[in-house]
Amino acid sequence: MNHATGAHPLSQLADRVQPRDRSLLDRLFRWFCIATASVSILILAVLLVAVFYLGVSSLNWNFLTHYPEPDATQAGLGPAIWGTVWVCVVCGFFALPIGVATAVFLEEFKPSNKWLLKLHGFIQLNINNLAGVPSVVYGIIGLTLFVSMAGLFGSPNEPFASVGVKYFDQFFTAGQKALRVPIADPSQPQTVATPGLQALNADDEWVEINVVKSRRDLPRNLKDRRYAIVEGKTSGRIQDGSWYYFRLPFGRSVMAGALTLMLVILPIVIISTQEALRGVPGSLREAGMGLGSTQWQVVRNITLPAAVPGIMTGAILSMSRAIGEAAPILILAGAIFLTNNPGNLMDDFTVLPLQIFDWAGRPQPEFHHLAGGGILVLLAILFVFNLTAVLIRQFTQKNLS
């Protein structure tokens, strides 16, 4: 501060700058911003064109519906596409309501007590810090918290409780037919092939297994070998879950993957919702309170509707991150080659980023083209999710106007 004149040094510097110099600086800064934005858009366009050129030849119906195979000409993304949709829908179903409710509580219902106010600040600080935690850390947390539940409720192989599932011991005969023996208690030992054993075939019909003493006694006729098994052969334990199948712990399932991604995007949802709530003019709240409304009525009828466009913007950003996460799912799922689409929340799953990562790491150029096609499919799914959120935002803005 210049005590003689009372003027600030920056004010003195601004006074010495000529109007022509100010106009030149303004134009230079404007052109710098335009050039930076143009370079960013150009890089993005080059990447999109390169990916499109690499992967457009792979896009066909078989690629979208078939499962991965060692043969690149027959490999597809079916299980990965449906796994991504399942995981993202369940993740959004949990993350968005919890995140918005937390933000409303922190922003609109601040406590007046000194100690509660300190606790409020501590929670806010931790939420801000969690937004910068690497996603791989959340994968480790999800593996402990959701897959095995820290061993508090049995184990993924022997769940503490389950509903909507049937267990079978499965045999493969000499004729490569799968036969299943229903199991009442999954903790009992696996079934061993003995004379007189009966099982269910692929059509759920009871058949008697032809148990022979040794491999030399197996029938030579292919028709007779359909249900032939060597005595003493052990089975493999499988499960068949209904659409409402649920168990504790979750194991490496869709539910565990979705809840892990929920942890990843929850801080983003909370922070973006808080910013949207802060953007609502305080005069609207004061007008509602002046009319005799309670604080919750003001939040429900005034603040939240006005903040929905900003909340949906945060939802777009958070779901965009969730759909592209690979590190936590790689730790959690541990499976890439799956031939079945998820049928319930407890099914095994894989997602598009994992499948793209697997194909991109292979040396054959054919799989690189498949990886490019997978990126295009991933961008298309992301576009659909974002378009849905944008339409909701626009619809809400029209209602408010």
Q: According to the model, what pLDDT value does residue 215 have?
A: 86
Q: How far apart are CA 228 and CA 210, in angstroms?
A: 5
* Alpha-carbon dihedral 213, 219, 224, 226, rounded to 10 degrees: 70
Q: According to the model, what pLDDT value does residue 401 have?
A: 47
Q: According to the model, what pLDDT value does residue 334 have?
A: 60
Provide the sign of the torsion angle of the four alpha carbons 338, 340, 375, 391, taken in this order: negative
Q: According to the model, what pLDDT value does residue 218 have?
A: 87
H or E element in which residue 192 lies: none
230 in helix, strand or coil?
strand
Low pLDDT (below 50) residues in the chain: 1, 398, 400-401
Q: How far apart are CA 263 and CA 349, in angstroms?
A: 19
Across the strands, what pairs with 198? 208
Q: According to the model, what pLDDT value does residue 377 have?
A: 93
Question: How much is the pTM?
Answer: 0.82
The two structure tokens encoding residue 150: 């820290």
